[in-house]
Amino acid sequence: MVVLVFSLLPLAGTVLADEESSGSMVKTEINWPEFLKSRDMVWKKAPDHWDNAPFTGNGFMGMHIKRDAGEKGKLRVDVARMDAQEHLPMDNPNDGLGDWSYKRYRVPLGYFSLDFKEELKDWDLRLDLWNAEIRGTVTTAGGRELALRAYTHATQPLIVVDLEDAAGKALPELEWNGFINESPRGRERKVKEREAPRAAPGPKGSLVTVNQKTNVWKLPLRPKGVVSIAWTETSSGKGRKTFFISLDHSYPDDGALKRSLGMVRKAAALSAQALTDTHRAWWHKFYPQSFLSIPDSYWDPFYWAQIYKIGAGMRSGGPVLDLQGPWLALDADAWPGVWWNLNVQLTYWPCYTGNRLEAAESLTGSLRRNRNNLIENVAPKYRADSAGISRAAGQDGRQDVGRPDGGPDSKSEVGSLPWACHNLFLHYRMTMDDRFLKEDVYPLLRRAINYYIHFLEKGSDGKLHLPPTLSPEYGVAPDANYDLALLRWGCRTLLWSAERLGIKDPLIPKWKSILRDLTDYPVDGNGYMVGRGVPFKNPHRHYSHLFMVYPLHLVDTSRPEEAELADKSIRHWHSLKSGLRGYSFTGGASLYAKLLRGDDALEIMGGLKSWIRPNTLYREGRWPVIETPLSGAASLHDMVLQSWNDVVNVLPAVPGAWKDVSFHNLRAEGAFLVSAERRDGTTRWIHVKSLAGEPLRLRADIAPEARLSGTGAAAMRKDAAGDWTGTPPKGSELLLAVPGANPVVAPVRAPNLKKFGLP
């Protein structure tokens, strides 16, 4: 009997509390290893595909472990690296290659395999969330038992796969299966349309054997750069092997070769315990940054799977998380880049309220590094003051954008950069780091809004109008609500930012005049339209025509007429069911949470379940994408904590079925850490810690007898509306609690938790 066994090492810790809460008014009773263990994904059947296999990653690279779907005796380790892309010039329109998807595409690399010559039949694997490791056993049809442990190191470009045969039998050699360097987009089109590829494949990879156990595969990129994959092994007897794999990418030099080879040699020389300890130390610090527990057997484990993805898919200083992250689907990779007309924005939303801002720095860093490319994306005559980003591009963001004039070749889709700037501003509001506002948010948003301004037109009604622009994926319309909302939000945000930073910007009068004179949002009997003269009548997955409601919060839905209009628009959108896709349900949930209707939010969120794959990854048709489940985590945040328009609203849209809710150190705009507990349908206490000394308006459905205490209490007053307002000092704490409440954060009861994976 053969078993794939991963060595089981002792846990590095047991119970951890968040350091920022040390000595605070709130205590934590969270046994993190046990809590997350009950939410682990498990496999009792053979994983054989991208969307049903266990996966690990570190924000740069990652892997899947599965059985080869075509050769059931082979164990596969699919590997990928997000920043490995081609670098062909973008400034030659006559090269016959077309857009970025043939010039700056993400390069599929290949996979490793181990051939056991007989079916890998019986599986018992676990994705250990707390330790970010795949662990368990596999048994062949002939009775061979193998023990398996595998992980992608949290801080090093290293994959570790440890195998042991229970009977001490010799293990097979690790075989590399490298792919041809060909645009996945071109390959998909060739299959679909039977067209000839636009470009010849790039250079083939070459294998260099360094010694009997160490190999390097080199894949030259065009015109320069290289992807390097190195691997080696150690053994303790013929029945035990540990494989070390490193993926690296460099441009324009070939430094990746030296780095990847050095990485596996260094890893092989270290003790297994040393590698494991540094890997686990990172993850054991990552999880306790915030905590959320809800009494929902499906959404609770789903939520923690998304937090795991954030830790596995994003790193400060790393590439922006694209459509597939470190887990490139090797059999269906038609979208090998970064999509900016929804995907990136949704992907990063859970990082903000979820207090995972270091992970979100992979987005802020990408926009900072590639700012010059964003400027070059607009026509030369606009580059002095404007910038833009296309619907899709490679990791460097370089792809010409359309023009908001509706011309035959314009494509007219220009809202992606302003929307990305909204993510930047959310990041700022969660930190109140004015240096970030001044150096990153303000200059990029200024350029994004300037691009709109170049095309504004004054109509016969005296109002300012936008020429035809593209509401993402729906169609072109003048005065498209998507762009009107982003333009309004951008002008408001620039004015607010200039005042805060003390910038006397010469464009301030222009921004004020736009806010005064910009045309109203087009509306008809079904609610918000796509744009002037274009009703929302076709089934469609995007909710870009509703941006003024969410996520930009430009309309006051506390006013009954605004709430009614929003509700009518949402219901009409979702009545056209054939066009709905996964993120239609997460968007609908967040929209209803905005309207403070938790039951409706939870009901509409239920539509997402049929789209979630066994390992919580996601696909539409045959195309894998990553953003939708992550946006589901953001929708859950919206039900328990909202912070926009200078109001921190605690437990605002909790579904009635969730009688108990507990969360700790979620973030609110204004740089506040918020913790709270709901028991038996009643809010018991709320704790707020001010990280920046900003003004606070605290709103909560809590009993009138609740009392406010803490080092910031003297600064707060209760107004006529029942909100607590004031400016608690930086570092101060507030505790709003009903008499007898005990401010302890602990998991709530969630019976019969859903087991993702293949249980």
CATH number for the domain that contains residue 255: 2.70.98.50
Token pair belonging to 188: 């998909």
pLDDT of res. 1: 33
One-letter-per-residue 3-state SS of 226-260: EEEEEEEEEECCCCEEEEEEEEEEECCCCHHHHHH
pLDDT-wise least confident of 128-142, 277-291, 316-330 = 316-330
Is position 541 within any domain?
no
Residue 206 tokens read as: 């070459």
pLDDT, residue 8, reads 30
> How confident is residue 408, by pLDDT bands cut at 50, 70 and 90?
low
What pLDDT is attached to residue 188? 54
Range of the domain at 110: 2-28+43-289
Q: Provide the mean pLDDT of the chain.
A: 93
Q: Is residue 91 part of a domain?
A: yes
- The pLDDT tens digits of the residues spanning 700-711 come to 999 999 999 999
CA dihedral over 490, 323, 480, 381, signed as positive or negative: positive
d(CA 303, CA 747): 14
Query: Is the confidence at residue 333, as pLDDT, over 70?
Result: no
- Whether residue 489 contacts residue 552, with contact meaning beta carbons closer than 8 Å, is answered with yes
Instruction: Decide: helix, strand or coil at residue 554.
Output: coil
Amino acid present at 442: Y
9 vs 522, residue with greater confidence = 522
pLDDT for residue 4 is more than 50: no
Residue bearing tokens 């009950």: 38
Q: Is the pLDDT of residue 244 over 70?
A: yes
pLDDT score of 201 more than 80: no
pLDDT digits (tens, 9 = 90+) for 721-745: 999 999 999 999 999 999 999 999 9
Q: Give CA angle at 161 (156, 165), nearest 5°.
A: 160
pLDDT at 243 over 60: yes
Amino acid at 30: I
Domain assignment present for residue 200? The answer is yes
Question: What pLDDT, on the 0 to 100 scale, is given for residue 238?
Answer: 86
When pLDDT is averaged across residues 27-51 and rounded to a whole number, the result is 97
Distances 648 to 259, 552, 674, 699 between C-alpha atoms, Å: 47, 16, 9, 6
CA 737/CA 227 separation, integer angstroms: 56
pLDDT value, residue 7 = 33
Number of domains in the chain: 1
Asked if residues 426 and 113 have their Cβ atoms less than 8 Å apart, the reply is no
Predicted local distance difference test score (pLDDT) of residue 203: 84
8 Å CB contact between 94 and 13: no
Handedness of CA 481, 482, 485, 486 (dihedral sign): negative
Residue type, 701: D
Residue 421 located in a structural domain = no
Q: Is residue 312 part of a domain?
A: no
Give the pLDDT band (50/70/90) at residue 183: confident
Query: Within a domain: residue 142?
Result: yes
Coil, helix or strand at residue 509: helix
The answer to whether position 574 is within a domain reads no
- The candidate with the shortest Cα–Cα distance to 339, out of 358, 353, 320, is 320
Residue recorded with tokens 């360094």:
210
Whether residue 101 lies inside any domain: the answer is yes
Predicted confidence (pLDDT) at residue 10 exceeds the cutoff of 60:
no
Q: Please tell me whether the peptide bond between 93 and the residue prior to it is cis, using omega within 30 degrees of 0.
A: no
Instruction: Note the pLDDT of residue 288.
Output: 98
Q: Among positive and negative, which fits the CA dihedral 420, 421, 426, 432?
A: positive
Nearest to 621 by CA among 650, 655, 594, 581: 581
Q: Are 159 and 78 in contact (CB under 8 A)?
A: no
Distance CA 557, CA 285 (A): 39
- What type of residue sits at position 292? L
Whether the predicted pLDDT of 22 surpasses 80 = no
Mean pLDDT value across residues 689-706: 97
Examine the pLDDT at 198 and tell me if it is beyond 80.
Answer: no
Q: Give the position of tokens 């069911």.
A: 577
Task: Provide the β-strand partners of residue 707.
Answer: 737
Residue 252 preceded by cis peptide, ω within 30? yes
